[in-house]
A and B are shown apart, each in its own frame.
Chain A
């Protein structure tokens, strides 16, 4: 056991000294994750951007804004009255999903049962973004004005002062608004694409995709190190000492697991804490997926370094295989957008199954039992690669 640890430690020290390894292990993966994230979704936030022109300073307008912001669907970007043209331009150029104009006197007439100046949504015909904005605004308006109307009606029925400025009205309004916060009946809309889940954003796709891609790629350094060890005769020399072949293989595997797990912790940390990808929805399932990915990378690296002789061959094979696996497995673009045939072909690769597990955790909060069947496929592959590596392992 001590010999295995020493072998692992030596490999880690070597990798730590290798500048190119640092580039492949951390720097490029981070750059690619961020880059692909922006490519997949232009906005870093999952709220729809809405340009807001507020021409009213009354209480109903304020509560409409608060309600919209709390609703989490839209992100309001305030414009001033003189920027009205700018707002329309922003809508035209798709810089925002829609524009919202709150007119002067919004909500003021509602208490007297007279139609008040309506809020205006400026959007593009047929744009799904402006449709969603329209719906959010409509329900927010209903809610704000509904609360006021209900309060006024109740006060009137009790013969109390129902004018918006009165203390009774303020108290009643607070009660009605609180009632809206905790509705007794709610309707939750589910997106069929991601059951019980969140709508994927750019980083939700790029972060796990690039994770799988670069973990597979990082086995390059380990594989090349092993080939060099064979070339210098160090591997052969090891056999003149006390260690046995199987200990050498175990030590190498240990090092590859350590390297790829560290890499995953860094990339997942980046995803979770910087890019807002929710990896921690189910930590046990996440750990299982991470471990499976590392196992896959280690076994594949060991196998390639074992069956190929020259450094050149190992480099080209690793680059090609890791890229093809990642691309076919959906690390570069989600398989869902490619159609079912390609998705089925993609699932021949273990990369697709690992990626499914990661996305299951991020988007649907899947647990261990749900990710297990897919990860079992990954272990099958890992076992196969290990078997070939041990069977064909050569010391010279």
Chain B
């Protein structure tokens, strides 16, 4: 069932001459799915999230959250969503608990319900033990976790996370991604923005690739990589019998194409995990040694490069 529907959304800052940050964006999100907006800096991801959180008024188009239009019924739409901003929007002088209690009150919680919910959220973000320390003394990863925790207090049905893993260590990143996957398993609808391709690939049920305020392509990871073809590139360097081996590999099942360049053979392989061991066997049979192997699976980076002629990361 569709939970969020974005139709022809548009935002121009300081009209009429200002920059068009979002330019006719349309997509939808099903209930309980993780949808990632992937795009480089300035693509319009934050602007899109701001409009879906009713912080910015669209210049054109509309979006419905749980059936409520962000234009017509922003208050009703807001009740359904939790927003994790790109910046750490917390009070550094206050402890994690004090921050959560304050924000809980802002979401309309009070009394025993507030205390219970703050306790639960502290468990979810794994900060129960250090809840009374001031946030300013936390590591970047811990701050990010509190930043997420605040958005969970009122048990929203949808969660927007705007680049929640920027600038933190791999371990914290891992724990944040795990928490997000847990939410999805509990049926929460999640909108995630990132410019890390690997994150989008791991987390998302579907991905939208954005640039210059427009949607370039959309679909599951598999659907997207099909745009650049499905085969992995395998580059092999051998010490002898290169031509002989190339001929043998051309005959082999599971190898789509072989080209020879100087000392290397480049193979297009639909399934590298199955084919690679067999390539080594054939080499061993003619007593040739494979010195170097390079496997490049088709990925979103290649898709973005293919669609825009630019790399995703600057």
Is chain B a partner of chain A in the same complex? Answer: yes
> Among the listed A2, A6, A14, A236, which residue makes an inter-chain contact with B89, where contact means beta carbons less than 8 Å apart?
A236
Smallest distance from the beta carbon of B82 to chain A beta carbons, Å?
8
Q: Is the CB of A232 within 8 A of B106?
A: no
Q: How far is the CA of A237 from the CA of B87 in the complex (A)?
A: 10
Q: How far is the CA of A240 from the CA of B35 in the complex (A)?
A: 20
In chain B, what residue has the closest Cβ to A247? B106
Interface residues of A in 1-43 (CB under 8 A from B): 2-3, 6, 10, 13-14, 17-18
Q: Known: A10-B91, A14-B93. Contact between A3 and B105, CB under 8 A?
A: yes
Chain A residue numbers with a CB within 8 Å of B110 are 2
Residue A241 interfacial (CB < 8 Å): yes
Q: How far is the CA of A120 from the CA of B102 in the complex (A)?
A: 74
In chain B, what residue has the closest Cβ to A244? B75
In chain A, what residue has the closest Cβ to B134? A17
> Among the listed A13, A233, A241, which residue makes an inter-chain contact with B103, where contact means beta carbons less than 8 Å apart?
A241
Interface residues of B in 76-126 (CB under 8 A from A): 78-79, 81, 83, 85-94, 98, 102-103, 105-108, 110
Interface residues of chain A: helix, strand, loop or mixed (majority)? helix
Smallest distance from the beta carbon of B12 to chain A beta carbons, Å?
17
Residues 157-195 of A, flagged 1 when their CB comes within 8 A of B and 0 if not, give: 000000000000000000000000000000000000000
Chain A residue numbers with a CB within 8 Å of B83 are 237, 240
Chain A residue numbers with a CB within 8 Å of B102 are 6, 10
Interface size on A, residues (CB 8 A): 20
Q: How far is the CA of A100 from the CA of B107 in the complex (A)?
A: 76
Q: Is the CB of A240 within 8 A of B54?
A: yes
Residue A156 interfacial (CB < 8 Å): no
Residue B55 interfacial (CB < 8 Å): yes
Q: Is the CB of A240 within 8 A of B78?
A: yes
- Most B CB contacts (10 A, CB to CB) among A17, A234, A239, A241 go to A241
> Among the listed B75, B86, B106, B108, which residue makes an inter-chain contact with A238, where contact means beta carbons less than 8 Å apart?
B106
- Most A CB contacts (10 A, CB to CB) among B90, B93, B94 go to B93
In chain B, what residue has the closest Cβ to A10? B102
Interface residues of chain B: helix, strand, loop or mixed (majority)? loop
Q: How far is the CA of A239 from the CA of B86 in the complex (A)?
A: 15
Smallest distance from the beta carbon of A303 to chain B beta carbons, Å?
23
Residue A387 interfacial (CB < 8 Å): no
Q: Is the CB of A242 within 8 A of B106?
A: yes
Residue B53 interfacial (CB < 8 Å): yes
> Among the listed A3, A17, A18, A233, which residue makes an inter-chain contact with B106, where contact means beta carbons less than 8 Å apart?
A3
Residue A243 interfacial (CB < 8 Å): yes
Smallest distance from the beta carbon of A310 to chain B beta carbons, Å?
16
Smallest distance from the beta carbon of A362 to chain B beta carbons, Å?
37
Q: How far is the CA of A3 from the CA of B108 in the complex (A)?
A: 8
Q: How far is the CA of A233 from the CA of B89 in the complex (A)?
A: 5
Q: Known: A17-B93, A18-B93. Contact between A236 and B85, CB under 8 A?
A: yes
In chain A, what residue has the closest Cβ to B88? A232
Q: Is the CB of B93 within 8 A of A242?
A: no
Q: Known: A232-B87, A236-B85, A240-B53. Contact between A6 and B94, CB under 8 A?
A: no
Smallest distance from the beta carbon of A333 to chain B beta carbons, Å?
37
Chain A residue numbers with a CB within 8 Å of B85 are 233, 236-237
Residues 126-168 of B, flagged 1 when their CB comes within 8 A of A and 0 if not, give: 0000000010000000000000001000000000000000000
Q: Is the CB of B87 within 8 A of A13?
A: no
> Among the listed A2, A14, A236, which residue makes an inter-chain contact with B105, where contact means beta carbons less than 8 Å apart?
A2
Smallest distance from the beta carbon of A353 to chain B beta carbons, Å?
35
Chain B residues engaging chain A, CB cutoff 8 angstroms: 53-55, 75, 78-79, 81, 83, 85-94, 98, 102-103, 105-108, 110, 134, 150
A-B contact pairs, 20 of them (CB 8 A): A3-B106, A6-B102, A13-B94, A14-B91, A14-B94, A17-B94, A229-B91, A232-B90, A233-B85, A233-B89, A234-B91, A236-B89, A237-B150, A239-B55, A240-B81, A241-B103, A241-B106, A242-B75, A242-B78, A243-B106
The 9 closest A-B pairs by CB, nearest first: A233-B89, A6-B105, A241-B106, A237-B89, A233-B87, A17-B93, A240-B83, A234-B89, A10-B102
Given A13-B98, A237-B85, 18 more A-B residue pairs with CB atoms under 8 Å apart are: A2-B105, A2-B110, A3-B106, A3-B108, A6-B106, A10-B91, A13-B94, A14-B93, A17-B134, A229-B91, A232-B89, A232-B92, A236-B85, A237-B89, A240-B78, A240-B81, A242-B78, A242-B108
